[in-house]
Amino acid sequence: MDRKIWVLEEGCAVSENGRLVEYIREEDRTGAGDWFLGKVERLMPGLDCAFVDIGRKRAGFLPLKENSKTFTENCPLRSGDRILVQIRREETGQKGAYLSRDLVMPGRTVLLMPLNRHIGVSARITDGEKRTTLRELGQEIAGDSFGLIMRSASKHESEEAIRSEVSVLLEQWESIRQSGSAEGAPGTVFHSPGPEEQLRDFYEPRGNTVIVREKELNADLSRQLREARNRTVSLPHGGNIVIDRCEAMTVMDVNSAANAGRQGRRETILETNLEACREIAVQTRLRNLSGMLIIDFINMDTPEDREQVQSTLTAAFEPDRIKTVIHGWTSLGLMEMTRKRTAPDLYETDMNRCPVCLGAGYTAKDGKK
């Protein structure tokens, strides 16, 4: 794969084989990953959560119990407590940011989890022997005092370099921990990496990734970015995908449209669906769609074709650096998948709600709103 990371004046982008698949503006940088000194406003025992003032207009949502068996700080909270929290999902709509006490500090080769004891290895490292070596190294370095995840870049680094970075991160953590224990107004105590650093997982010194530094995207990639705002996306042989973003999910409808087919009906449907798999992966990453995604492929008659479509869709999302899970076919024949929300999507960053239809996509026949 020919992958390029574009470092621009206004942000960063990623292209794969000439297709734009990610675009992050510096001005659109969110607080996801930032650490805050927060103050517990109120506890909601019935919902097993707390609302925490982090210095924003809207309080953040914090579960009282972390979803981790190796997290060590699941102590009871009281209203008025000051705690260190991290934004896992940015606020959206009327919902505040989703917070966690299970802090994660990113480095180039490792992720440090000071309040956890988990030792893991990036899924991008597929060599079994290398995974074992890195896991054992992580266990040795951590010594059951903190948690570590060995990032994909760690497989090319020396043990000395990894140990050195862990030491630097621990010093940062100790400084933040001491400042966070002091009385003070809620606010940010640690900033997450900027766009260029966010894309570091794509870059492997011995791989085929090239870093390009330019003022702006070239004409072709700029066109692809503009077209990502379109509701309908064309496929190579005449089919299309219609993408509708709802409040709770994003729905994609695959159509044969102008694809008259060069073979029989079954072959034409399968061809369109397979083309849609690859395009859906590109559009999902470029638009940064997240949460529940439902895909209505053209109905197929055989289990073999459905299995091929699902495996093609899974393979198409393999380069995605954001966690995506293909859940499979529903009883209604729809493909169900989820993608972790890490930042606002293209609709939030690049588009405004239509003042005529008020976001409905339709206007009343009588002309009234």
Mean pLDDT by 10 residues, the chain (369 residues): 87 92 78 87 91 91 90 89 89 82 92 95 89 96 95 90 95 85 74 69 62 92 95 94 91 87 84 97 95 96 96 94 93 95 82 82 76
Neighbours of 161 (CB within 10 A): 14
Tokens of 101: 């006490």
Tokens of 3: 């992958």
Task: For residue 85, count CB atoms less than 10 angstroms from its CB and return exposed for 0-12, middle for 13-18, buried for 19 or more.
Answer: buried
Cα–Cα distances in angstroms (integers) from residue 118 to residues 177, 201, 232, in the given order: 20, 20, 43
- The single-letter DSSP state of residue 155 is G
Spatial separation of the C-alpha atoms in residues 106 and 252, rounded to whole Å: 34
Spatial separation of the C-alpha atoms in residues 304 and 367, rounded to whole Å: 50
CB 255 within 8 A of CB 242: yes
* pTM, to two decimals: 0.79
What is the chain's alpha carbon radius of gyration, rounded to the nearest angstrom?
Answer: 23
Cα–Cα distances in angstroms (integers) from residue 268 to residues 109, 335, 357, in the given order: 46, 19, 37
Cα-Cα-Cα-Cα dihedral sign, residues 152, 155, 157, 160: positive
Residue with tokens 């026949």: 365
Task: State the pLDDT at residue 206.
Answer: 47
- The single-letter DSSP state of residue 26 is G
Kindly list the strands in the beta sheet with 335-339, ordered across the sheet, starting from the edge strand earlier in the chain.
232-234, 240-245, 249-255, 291-296, 335-339, 324-329
**Residues facing 3 on adjacent strands:** 16, 209
Q: What are phi and psi of 188, to 5 degrees?
A: -75, 135
Cα-Cα-Cα-Cα dihedral sign, residues 339, 342, 348, 350: negative
CB 363 within 8 A of CB 356: yes
Neighbours of 171 (CB within 10 A): 10
CB 112 within 8 A of CB 104: yes
CB 259 within 8 A of CB 293: no
Helix intervals (H) in 261-365:
265-287, 303-316, 346-350
Task: State the pLDDT at residue 196.
Answer: 65
* Length of the chain as a residue count: 369
Q: Which residues contact 124 (CB under 8 A, 6 or more apart)?
A: 152, 201
Q: b or e along 192-223 (b: 16 or more beta carbons within 10 Å of the residue's beta carbon)?
A: beebbebbbbbbeeeeebeeeeeeebeeebee
SS3 state of residue 186: coil
